[in-house]
Amino acid sequence: MRKEKLHTAINDAELCLHRLAKLMPGLSAHRTLADVLQLIHDVFGARLSWIMLETDELRHLEVLGDRLESGRAEGLLAALRLHQTPWRVKCWHRDVGKLLYSEGHPLAEELKCGVLCRIFPMQDDARAFLFLAFDQPLLAPAVLRSVAQIIAEKLHDSMTEIISRERTAVELKNIINQYRMLFDRAPVLMNSFDKHNRCTLWNGECERVFGWTLEELNRQPDPLALFYPDPDVRRRVRESVNVTPTLEMHEWYPHRRDGTVLATLWSNILLPDGEIMNIGVDITERKRAENLLALQATTDALTRCYNRLAILDHLQHCLDNCHSEQHDSHFVMLMIDLDHFKQINDRWGHLVGDDVLVYFCQNIRQQCEGAPRLGRLGGEEFLLLLPIADSGEALAFTDKLRAQLCAEPFMIGEAAVTLSFSAGAIVVARNNHERAVLLTLVDNALYDAKRTGRGKTVIALPTA
């Protein structure tokens, strides 16, 4: 009997050496916990295998083979802790299934021998355990214990590295969760599009502002076409989100789902994985407020034409761009003044006078072609800039305006008032005069029109 046991032990030892030789090279590589367990499980032909990692902040259990009843691995370790006896390896040469499965479970009887070894990683608060169970008594207990100790020694460094990775993964997961919450809830537009035009990131603010979900976007052949219908604009946007990202804020005007055009500011961040995250802010309301302020700053509140400062700025801009060698830079300055406007105010009051000014400006706009600039210099005096025009066109314009005012007089109750105006004009073909000089010349021409009977247009000749 003793010789048979010795013979079994020798055979088991030879078998174990063969399997350890096959196992060891694989354990030297950097592997995941699942890979390590799969390798050991396959090499030794176990029926059930599990590895558990424990630290103060995490627990990770990997199981291979038959399904393990919930909580049984933790229960086995808890039972061993109650003995308070230091141990490195525990072996069961029979009935190991009864430790892991409830009575009546098939594996409670089928699992025969098993071994549990404790692996000591370098971290003080880290614990690792490897368990193997077999459905036949493959190894003598002493051989099984020795094999387990060799594997535990070999796994020391691997488990230390795996625990470090697990901790890093947990920390990273917590960070990701925090950033995901920030990503979803932040009042900032954040998204990303890959090189195949698929949207890979689309936070809650994007969905709220634009009205599309991530799933709806990626059902489109080209999601960017929803926001930028113009192909040229879309091309430039695609370059910014795929090819040439920039941290500088750039203004884009994407479309909402309901067709509204938004004003947005975007910058791009190149992520470590090569993807580009686009971070934007919806400035539509701010832009609307800025435009309103700009309009109020440059518009006459009564007539809705340019105010004095704005029309003089436009005049200076026209002068700066006026060059004799350019055929499309000349223009006409037309200074217009309503005749006998004080009589209208004295007879019908200033409110009617205001209505007359509004009506007069409406008629001027109706007769204008091209891109004229009309501004109120003050009172009933206006300055009109007619681009690419000459003196003949200026006279034709004022004649047409007078005919319009005669055909449709201003009505005050039952009374029809035919408005009359005087005008002075000057053609500017090159920038050889200061703005003040030109204003004086055209003002003098207007004065001549008033002095010589009103209701006429006088063309001023620029001085050399």
pLDDT score, position 45? 86
Asked whether residue 158 falls in the same domain as residue 193, the answer is no
* Residue type present at position 367: Q
In this predicted structure, the answer to whether residue 253 has a pLDDT above a threshold of 80 is: yes
Q: Which residue has the higher pLDDT, 74 or 394?
A: 394
- Separation CA 294–CA 225 (nearest Å): 31
- The count of domains in the chain is 3
Tokens of 5: 């046991």
Do the domain assignments include residue 184?
Answer: no
pLDDT band at 337 (very low <50, low <70, confident <90, very high): very high
pLDDT band at 328 (very low <50, low <70, confident <90, very high): confident
pLDDT band at 15 (very low <50, low <70, confident <90, very high): confident
In this predicted model, what pLDDT tens digit does every residue of 114-163 receive, in sequence order?
889 888 776 667 788 899 988 887 667 777 788 888 888 877 777 777 77
Task: Kindly state the average pLDDT of the residues 337-359.
Answer: 94
DSSP one-letter code for 28: T
pLDDT score, position 6? 44
* Residue type present at position 147: V
Asked whether residue 24 falls in the same domain as residue 119, the answer is yes
Query: 2-27 vs 141-185: helix axis angle to the nearest 10?
Result: 30
In this predicted structure, the answer to whether residue 241 has a pLDDT above a threshold of 90 is: no
Tokens of 391: 């003196």
Helix (H) or strand (E) holding 449: helix 435-451
Q: Which residue has the higher pLDDT, 86 or 386?
A: 386
Asked whether residue 202 falls in the same domain as residue 273, the answer is yes
- Separation CA 356–CA 330 (nearest Å): 32
- Separation CA 51–CA 35 (nearest Å): 11
Asked whether residue 13 falls in the same domain as residue 152, the answer is yes
SS3 86: coil
pLDDT score, position 80? 81
In this predicted model, what pLDDT tens digit does every residue of 160-199 receive, in sequence order?
777 777 777 777 777 767 766 776 777 889 888 887 888 8
Task: Kindly state the average pLDDT of the residues 392-412.
Answer: 95
Query: 350-367 vs 391-407: helix axis angle to the nearest 10?
Result: 130
Instruction: Map tokens 């088991």 to a residue.
Output: 12
Which percentage of the chain shows pLDDT scores above 70? 91
β-pairing, 421-428 with 457-460?
A: parallel
Tokens of 54: 């424990």
pLDDT score, position 138? 62
Q: Give the DSSP letter string of 354-373.
A: HHHHHHHHHHHHHH--SS-E
Asked whether residue 218 falls in the same domain as residue 98, the answer is no
pLDDT score, position 464? 57
pLDDT score, position 448? 95
For the chain, the average pLDDT equals 85
pLDDT score, position 454? 94
Q: Which residue has the higher pLDDT, 253 or 92?
A: 253
Q: Which residue has the higher pLDDT, 407 or 90?
A: 407
Q: Which residue has the higher pLDDT, 78 or 381?
A: 381
Task: Kindly state the average pLDDT of the residues 316-333.
Answer: 84
Domain boundary among 233, 262, 286: 286
Looking at residue 327, which CATH number applies to its domain? 3.30.70.270
* Residue type present at position 193: F
pTM for this predicted structure: 0.50
pLDDT score, position 378? 92
Query: What is the domain extent for residue 202?
Result: 189-286
pLDDT band at 252 (very low <50, low <70, confident <90, very high): very high
pLDDT score, position 44? 85
Domain boundary among 173, 200, 235: 173
Q: Which residue has the higher pLDDT, 25 or 28?
A: 25
- Residue 76: CB atoms within 10 A of its CB come to 20
In this predicted structure, the answer to whether residue 389 has a pLDDT above a threshold of 80 is: yes
In this predicted structure, the answer to whether residue 261 has a pLDDT above a threshold of 90 is: yes
Cβ atoms of 31 and 158 within 8 Å: the answer is: yes
In this predicted structure, the answer to whether residue 5 has a pLDDT above a threshold of 70 is: no
In this predicted structure, the answer to whether residue 362 has a pLDDT above a threshold of 80 is: yes
Do the domain assignments include residue 293?
Answer: no
Do the domain assignments include residue 16?
Answer: yes
Asked whether residue 125 falls in the same domain as residue 238, the answer is no
Looking at residue 152, which CATH number applies to its domain? 3.30.450.40
In this predicted structure, the answer to whether residue 31 has a pLDDT above a threshold of 80 is: no
Asked whether residue 240 falls in the same domain as residue 305, the answer is no
Asked whether residue 154 falls in the same domain as residue 37, the answer is yes
The sign of the torsion formed by the CA atoms of 107, 24, 32, 145 equals: positive
pLDDT score, position 1? 41
pLDDT score, position 176? 64
Domain boundary among 173, 198, 214: 173
pLDDT band at 7 (very low <50, low <70, confident <90, very high): very low
pLDDT band at 65 (very low <50, low <70, confident <90, very high): confident
Asked whether residue 407 falls in the same domain as residue 359, the answer is yes
DSSP one-letter code for 462: P
Tokens of 4: 């048979």
In this predicted structure, the answer to whether residue 226 has a pLDDT above a threshold of 60 is: yes
Do the domain assignments include residue 180?
Answer: no
Asked whether residue 162 falls in the same domain as residue 227, the answer is no
pLDDT band at 3 (very low <50, low <70, confident <90, very high): very low
Do the domain assignments include residue 291?
Answer: no
SS3 229: coil
